[in-house]
Amino acid sequence: MKILDAIQIIESYAALYLPQEGAICIADLHLGYEEALAEEIGMTLPTTQLNEVKKNFDASIKACEANHLVINGDLRHVFARSTPQEWAEVPEFIEFALQRVEKITLVRGNHDTMLGPLKRFSNVEIVEEYRLADIAFIHGHKDYFPSDEKTIVIGHEHPTLVLGDTIGARVKIPAFLHGKVDGKNMIVMPAFSPLAGGTEVNLACKEDFLSPMLRRVDVGKMVAYGVDPEAGILKFPELRKWRDVSLRL
């Protein structure tokens, strides 16, 4: 489904495709998340996230004709050090991806502080921001709006939608957001991680948003595209038009 003429959502995945540029974009993989949870709060989860990420990336790349992967921040999870899980999983995913694309551009996110395992990959570049045609990719953890490009794509926020009915059934699904900011298009990407939590954008107040960029804009004027493996892509109106209904669920 097209968000803009040059950008589309790949089937029901948390991935964007730029057909004119032959590029696919994902964000917020948070590899190493399970080990971090075990260390920080004592919650032990099976280490299944990497397999899910690889499976979903493989399906996404098969659904388009991309030869360039843009990772829009937070490839890894732990801030201050590289954990054994990250040390193993980060290069494993990169090797897996490079069997399917020719090059990878990693836009550094706030979690991407130690990237030693990537040094041996000559076709992986690490940048603070990335421009492709008239599109600027930035992670979104800084209060910074590029001035020249017509479209800004960010991650960081992990937007989700909470959907439910009047008898109490609820489901949470990842979502893309799209709106206009000072005449520019802004797209907010959901997390490619199946485990990382996210902001419930149809229930959130301005103060709830993680990204300083989103705290400065009227998110209520953005439309949402939920992505669900069974339902596919679900396009919703501007958040302000149905937020009151969500709050009553």
Give me the CATH number covering residue 236: 3.60.21.10
How many Cα atoms sit within 13 Å of 49 on the Cβ side? 26
Give the pLDDT confidence of 159-213 residue by residue, as tens digits: 999 987 666 678 899 999 999 998 899 999 999 999 888 999 999 999 999 999 9
Average pLDDT over residues 79-102: 84
| 5, amino acid identity | D
* Residue 86 pLDDT level (bands cut at 50, 70, 90): confident
The DSSP letter of residue 219 is G
Give the pLDDT confidence of 61-76 residue by residue, as tens digits: 999 999 999 999 999 8
- Return d(Cα 37, Cα 43) in angstroms, integer: 6
Instruction: Note the residue count of the chain.
Output: 249
176-193 burial: b if 16+ Cβ within 10 Å, else e: bbbbebeebbbbbbbbbb
pLDDT at 38: 46
- Return d(Cα 176, Cα 187) in angstroms, integer: 7
The DSSP letter of residue 49 is H
Q: Considering its fold, how many domains does the chain have in total?
A: 1
Which residues form the domain of 91?
2-247
Task: Provide the whole-model pTM.
Answer: 0.93
